[in-house]
A and B are shown apart, each in its own frame.
Chain A
Amino acid sequence: MLKLRNLIKRWTRALRPKEETRASQSQNSKHDRTTELLRQSEESFQVLIESIQDYAIYILDPNGFVVSWNTGAQRIKGYSAEEIVGKHFSHFYTPDDNRINKPKQNLDIAGTKGRYEDESLRVRKDGSIFWANVLITAIRDDSGKLTGFAKVVRDITERRASEQRLHESERLATLGTTAAVFAHEIANPLNGLSTSLQIVAELLEASDYQNPALGETIHGANQEILRLAALLEDYRSLARPQGTKFQPSNLRQIVEEVLALNIKNYEASGVTVTVEFDENLPFVALDPEKIKQVILNLCKNAVEAMPKGGNLTVKAHGTKDNVILEFSDTGQGIPEGFDPFHLFKSTKPEGTGLGLPIVQQIVSDHHGTVDYVSELGKGTTFRVSFKLATHN
């Protein structure tokens, strides 16, 4: 911070001769007043830079070595001033970017054009990657000589993530709408096949012909038809609902309605279900029918993650701005590097990879978020967060 102060002093000193020339044309008292005003402005500027938390603001020398460091920089990048001042700014770039000499290229552009702006990945002290909006501005003295670079960096990871979610949500909606059209064309022939098999089964039963393999074959074919029908239904769920009706809803009641219909199946799979809700949980603006699908999909996933049985806990609690709904299982956990929200990706042989994209789609339509924590062999918790806002 001290270095930054000195640098700002140097800047303002660089400005001074111009002011002094102007002042010398005027009276001496005016000159004194200008100097005082400049000093005050210098101090205010220092305070301003120091107080900024959301932006990393720092200075590089002409070769890219860090000269100054503000609190925002420490917060965003993780280095203290003592650790980073004097080091080269290529430390903030990814290995890939360093390989192609991007730090130098960026400085060259800023040096030639006066500024360089970019949105790309940067590295924190702990090695974690974040999306950064970077602005590098060349600093030149009166003679036009390059004296360094001012760098302003903003962490835009959250914004990028929300853009990504929006994009994904739009993509799913388009897919769902297209699928809904096709699905109708497929559902009718499927019904034709299903009824045909039912008739064959009935005729077989009424006849003298005895062959257990035939009955099993028909049953197998019927099961496949039901599976396809369920798949079609999943696809159709991806389509953005028309005329979604948000209404103040009692989340506990919705969860209990879903569980009432399904708890017997879960228990048959050896899963014990526990519901823990905060007393006086506020009402949330939801479309209950859509949220039932979210609850159903998350419960189903949890149960399927525990083929040998286990515990499913559905919890809800309120915060100042949100209502959080959690589904915890004691199952096998999600392998690291596997994105369960990825469309068509499933760890289960029979999985369609549509369940969680549907959850994400519906939650996103509710302006909420869904994420998870998982530990292999211990279990997974999916957390859905709904905003407590009435303007939905």
Chain B
Amino acid sequence: MSTRVLLVEDDTLTRRNTAIYLRRAQIEVDEAASGEEAIRLITSIDKYDVLVSDLRMPGLNDGMDVINCQQRVSPGTACILITAFGSAQLQKQAQNLNVTYLEKPISLLDLLSKVTAAGTRTTP
């Protein structure tokens, strides 16, 4: 069974590129363009293996809200947080939540290896 990923990113080009790259590696990707859309998917669809979410997005819910929701719904799902502007504080916060942290511009190869590693851990 392939790894199933929810990709949350408001920047269309980044979302499209990331999805293409992951799918080329046989990863199943659902896309959400906002925090609200992501939360709808998380609460309505069966468990994702990996959540990859941008931090800052327009709308009511940011990446942290999406991660909190995902961790409540299925604590086993691995989470990867991507941000344009990191800080030591944010990195620490991510660490405390057991969330992998990446800064933009991201390396797709790096993201793929993190998704694969996380998927292996969570997939039964």
Chain A residues in the interface with B (C-beta under 8 A): 180, 183-184, 187-196, 198-199, 202, 225-226, 229, 233, 236, 289
Does the CB pair B17–A196 fall under 8 Å? yes
Does the CB pair B11–A188 fall under 8 Å? yes
Report the bound CA distance from A192 to B89 in whole Å. 25
Q: Nearest chain A CB to B48's CB is how many angstroms away? A: 21
Report the bound CA distance from A190 to B14 in whole Å. 9
Chain B residues in the interface with A (C-beta under 8 A): 10-14, 17-18, 20-21, 24, 56, 84-85, 87-89, 104-109
Chain B CB within 10 A, most for which of A195, A226, A233: A195
Q: Which of A183, A191, A202, A289 touches B105 (beta carbons < 8 Å)? A: A191
Residues of B within 8 A of A233 (CB): 85
Q: Which of A191, A198, A199 touches B11 (beta carbons < 8 Å)? A: A191
Report the bound CA distance from A193 to B10 in whole Å. 15
Chain B CB within 10 A, most for which of A180, A188, A199, A225: A188
Q: A191-B106, A199-B108 are in contact. Are A236 and B18 (CB under 8 A)?
A: no
Residue of B whose beta carbon sits closest to that of A233: B85
Q: A188-B14, A192-B13, A192-B17 are in contact. Are A198 and B85 (CB under 8 A)?
A: no
Residues of A within 8 A of B109 (CB): 198
Main secondary structure of the interface of A (DSSP, over half): helix
Does the CB pair B20–A191 fall under 8 Å? no
Does the CB pair B18–A195 fall under 8 Å? yes
Residue of A whose beta carbon sits closest to that of B11: A188
> What are some 5 contacts across the A-B interface (CB < 8 A)?
A183-B85, A184-B85, A192-B17, A195-B14, A202-B108
Does the CB pair B105–A225 fall under 8 Å? yes
Does the CB pair A202–B21 fall under 8 Å? yes
Report the bound CA distance from A193 to B85 in whole Å. 17
Residues of A within 8 A of B13 (CB): 189, 192-193, 195-196
Does the CB pair A189–B108 fall under 8 Å? no
Q: A183-B85, A184-B84, A195-B13 are in contact. Are A190 and B105 (CB under 8 A)?
A: yes
Residues of A within 8 A of B20 (CB): 199
Does the CB pair B104–A190 fall under 8 Å? yes
Report the bound CA distance from A190 to B84 in whole Å. 10
Residues of A within 8 A of B11 (CB): 188-189, 191-192
Report the bound CA distance from A278 to B14 in whole Å. 50
Q: Which of A180, A190, A198 touches B21 (beta carbons < 8 Å)? A: A198
Residues of A within 8 A of B85 (CB): 180, 183-184, 187, 233, 236
Q: A183-B85, A233-B85, A236-B85 are in contact. Are A188 and B17 (CB under 8 A)?
A: no
Q: Nearest chain B CB to A184's CB is how many angstroms away? A: 6
Residues of A within 8 A of B84 (CB): 183-184, 187-188, 191
Q: Nearest chain B CB to A202's CB is how many angstroms away? A: 7
